[in-house]
């Protein structure tokens, strides 16, 4: 029993370290992408007058859907690149949950596998359900 | 004003917001929203979208350090994330049907509450007697201190869970981490030691904000030209703030900043009632 507890807490610690590393890597990657997109954006449009943000118009499909953002990034559209970085940033905590799910599975902690699955389902619901109501 | 000037001013402003948010413990998102709406006259919905992103960046950046130190209670965070993510999705959906002036007034009220929360006495005592629910959910834990690990137990799990749902709704509706409510749930209801509750709350903010950020992104509330300076600025400011916090005791600073925040909150509420949003 003692040995089992020990391996459990070891796996726990390992997963925690991995979670920490994933979070940092995600934020750094996202910031770099956003920075690159931002610099290109300023080089191309920096001297243009500032648009009015006083009235809310909403972004068009190019910057609100997965397909739109990917294809714009692919065409090196600076706004698309920034939005791609934004997606990476949003995906970071979601990936963190997936990693925790894997960790709880390794520990055979079924109660927490279930709890983590619920959280993941809510995230999935908001991703799919949030689309154009 | 050209886009370049706007971006540079916003970058500097977001940097200060991140710094202030980190020193007061309020989070950069809370300060970036009044900056965008009151100073730059940006529609509050764009401001909320950008603030959500700043919260995710801040939370993930800071959480990685805390998780490494072993203070964060990951099980507790995961369990309460059920409440906050469900709340966040509800809040993000409510945001579409709520008039912007109402959002601004609500925001001001929460800002006042958050400022008050940072000044109150913190719970340092670890419970030795926990509830059955807490034991069943394996929420009891321990955290390292210079004098060795301290074990703690939890109670009032149901009450904590309910407050967390409310925190999630407000987070989705207002685009903030609502760290103050999260700490209230964990500190006052569940009696978790302060160090654990703050770090666990921070850990959860990223997931909570991501749950509503997805909805905001798809609704077109995230403008790349605003997101870019805000995310980088707030992140940079928070990073500097974390470094400064190691060297100075922010007690006096905290009082000054909280006074400033009360002023900003009043401005938001006043403008909300004047229908300026």
**Interface confidence (ipTM) of the complex:** 0.87
- From the list B85, B96, B218, which residue is nearest A119 (CB)? B85
Query: Is A115 at the interface with chain B, CB within 8 A?
Result: yes
- From the list A59, A60, A126, which residue is nearest B214 (CB)? A126
pLDDT of residue A83: 92
Does B274 have pLDDT greater than 60?
yes
pLDDT of residue A9: 59
Does A6 have pLDDT greater than 50?
no
Residues 6 or more apart whose CB falls under 8 angstroms from that of B147 comprise none
By CA distance, what is A94's nearest residue in B? B207
Per-range mean pLDDT, top range of A6-20, B53-67, B96-110, B124-138: B96-110
Query: Please, which pLDDT band fits residue B145 given cuts at 50, 70 and 90?
Result: confident
Q: For chain B, what is the mean pLDDT?
A: 85
Q: What is the pTM of this model?
A: 0.87
- Average pLDDT value for residue range B20-25: 76
- From the list B3, B45, B223, which residue is nearest A45 (CB)? B3
Per-range mean pLDDT, top range of A50-54, B75-79, B180-184: B75-79
pLDDT of residue B118: 75
Question: What distances in angstroms separate CA B105 from CA A20, B58, B209, B274, one per listed residue?
Answer: 36, 25, 21, 10
- Average pLDDT value for residue range B61-89: 87
pLDDT of residue A132: 47
Does B188 have pLDDT greater than 90?
no
Does A3 have pLDDT greater than 60?
no
- Average pLDDT value for residue range B125-133: 80
Classify A105 in phi/psi space as left (phi over 0), alpha (psi -120 to 50) or beta.
alpha
Q: Reduced to 3 states, what is the DSSP secondary structure of residue A57?
A: coil
A119 or B199, which is more confident: A119
Does B198 have pLDDT greater than 90?
no
Query: Is B7 at the interface with chain A, CB within 8 A?
Result: yes
Does A130 have pLDDT greater than 70?
no
Query: Is A33 at the interface with chain B, CB within 8 A?
Result: no
Question: What distances in angstroms separate CA B83 from CA A118, B33, B121, B185, B225, one per listed residue?
Answer: 10, 25, 26, 12, 32
Domain residue ranges of chain B, discontinuous segments joined by +: 3-273
**Block residue for tokens 């300023």:** A42
% of residues, chain B, pLDDT over 90: 27
- Average pLDDT value for residue range B262-269: 88
Domain residue ranges of chain A, discontinuous segments joined by +: 2-45+60-129
Cα angle: B65, vertex B67, B68; to 5 degrees: 65
Does B232 have pLDDT greater than 90?
yes
By CA distance, what is B77's nearest residue in A? A116
Q: What is the pLDDT of residues A68-115, one digit of tens each?
A: 888 888 888 889 999 999 999 999 999 999 998 988 898 889 999 999
pLDDT of residue A40: 93
Residues 6 or more apart whose CB falls under 8 angstroms from that of B51 comprise B29, B30, B32, B33, B36, B175, B176, B230
pLDDT of residue B250: 64
CB contact under 8 A, A118 and B219: no
Query: Please, which pLDDT band fits residue B263 given cuts at 50, 70 and 90?
Result: confident
Does B183 have pLDDT greater than 50?
yes
- Average pLDDT value for residue range A24-46: 92
pLDDT of residue A10: 58
Reported as type and span, the H/E element at residue B150 is strand B150-152
CB contact under 8 A, A126 and B212: yes
**Spatial distance between the Cα atoms of B3 and A49, rounded to a whole number of angstroms:** 6
Query: Is B109 at the interface with chain A, CB within 8 A?
Result: no
Which residues between 5 and 24 in chain A have a beta carbon less than 8 angstroms from any beta carbon of chain B? 13, 16-17, 19-21, 23-24
Does B233 have pLDDT greater than 50?
yes
By CA distance, what is A92's nearest residue in B? B60
């Amino acid at each position: 029993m003692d040995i089992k507890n020990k391996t459990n807490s070891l796996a726990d610690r390992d997963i925690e370290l991995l979670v920490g590393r994933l979070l940092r890597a995600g934020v750094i990657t996202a910031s770099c992408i956003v920075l690159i997109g931002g610099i290109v954006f300023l080089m191309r449009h920096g001297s243009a007058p500032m648009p009015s943000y006083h009235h809310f118009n909403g972004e068009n499909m190019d910057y609100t859907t997965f397909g739109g953002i990917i294809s714009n990034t692919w065409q090196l559209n600076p706004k698309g690149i920034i939005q791609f970085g934004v997606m990476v940033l949003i995906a970071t905590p979601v990936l963190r949950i997936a990693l925790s799910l894997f960790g709880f599975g390794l520990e055979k902690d079924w109660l927490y596998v279930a709890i983590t699955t619920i959280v993941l389902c809510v995230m999935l619901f908001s991703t799919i359900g949030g689309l154009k109501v | 004003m050209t886009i370049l000037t706007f971006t540079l001013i916003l970058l500097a402003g977001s940097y200060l917001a991140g710094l202030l948010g980190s020193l007061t413990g309020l989070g950069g998102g809370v300060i970036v929203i009044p900056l965008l709406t009151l100073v730059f006259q940006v529609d509050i919905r764009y401001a909320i979208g950008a603030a959500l992103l700043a919260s995710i960046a801040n939370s993930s950046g800071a959480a990685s350090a805390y998780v490494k130190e072993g203070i964060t209670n990951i099980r507790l965070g995961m369990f309460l994330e059920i409440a906050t993510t469900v709340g966040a999705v509800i809040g993000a959906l409510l945001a579409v049907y709520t008039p912007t002036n109402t959002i601004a007034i609500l925001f001001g009220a929460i800002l006042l509450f958050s400022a008050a929360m940072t000044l109150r006495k913190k719970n340092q005592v670890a419970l030795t007697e926990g509830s059955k629910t807490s034991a069943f959910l394996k929420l009891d834990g321990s955290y390292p201190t210079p004098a060795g690990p301290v074990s703690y137990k939890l109670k009032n799990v149901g009450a904590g869970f309910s407050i967390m749902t409310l925190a999630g709704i407000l987070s989705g509706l207002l685009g903030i981490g609502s760290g103050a409510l999260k700490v209230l749930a964990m500190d006052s209801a569940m009696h978790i030691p302060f160090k654990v509750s703050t770090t666990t709350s921070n850990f959860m903010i990223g997931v909570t904000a991501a749950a509503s950020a997805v909805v905001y992104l798809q609704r077109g509330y995230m403008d790349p030209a605003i997101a870019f300076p805000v995310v980088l600025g707030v992140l940079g400011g928070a990073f500097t703030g974390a470094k400064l916090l190691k060297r100075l005791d922010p007690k006096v600073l905290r009082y000054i900043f909280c006074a400033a925040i009360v002023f900003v909150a009043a401005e938001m509420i006043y403008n909300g009632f004047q229908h300026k949003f």
